[in-house]
Amino acid sequence: MRLKAVIVSFSSRKDGNCAKIGKLINENIQDSILFSFSDFSIQTCGECNYDCFKKRGKCPYVGDMECDMLDSIVQSEIAYFVLPNYCDYPCANYFAFNERSQCYFQGKPDLLNAYLRIPKRSIVVSNTNEENFIKALSYQTNQDPVVLFLSAKQYGKSSIQGDLLTNEKAVSDIMEFIGKSFQ
């Protein structure tokens, strides 16, 4: 069965805004799966001897969630990335996910093209610097990134409190954003 949607929450905060947004999307899209970095972590690149470059498919960390996430995205109709803004850029979990995909796609151009064709929609909890996110997210798609920027300040909230979804307008904006994906 093909998944309708894969949701990836890149924040490590279990009760933060990104985790809650990921759960909201997952609850509102039938046949979806949520991957949350608050429940697991993936090994970053560079703590090995670059085995994957020496012999394709030989990443010593292939057993973590990276391949499961990428497999699921490739088999879905759409993927949602939910990201926090740390120092004007996506968090480190996003960059680890991006760099680790090298091993998954290395020598498999058809798989990479299939991944890039899956529509990606991103929700960024951020009060600043949209340009950095657009650039970073452009690596995930062969189209222009589609991003909803949610500024906690705009909704009268503080990003670190994890209470963005207590604002009805924020919830409405998210639901409208995910609804547009299926029109």
Provide the CATH number for the domain around residue 85: 3.40.50.360
What is the tally of structural domains in the chain?
1
**In-domain check, residue 173:** no
Mean pLDDT of all residues in 8-21: 95
Phi-psi region of 115 (alpha: psi -120 to 50; beta: other; left: phi over 0): alpha
d(CA 26, CA 63): 24
d(CA 50, CA 168): 47
pLDDT in tens, 25-59: 999 999 999 999 999 989 888 778 877 777 766 78
**In-domain check, residue 183:** no
**In-domain check, residue 180:** no
Are 97 and 64 in contact, with CB atoms under 8 Å apart? no
d(CA 33, CA 31): 7
**In-domain check, residue 80:** yes
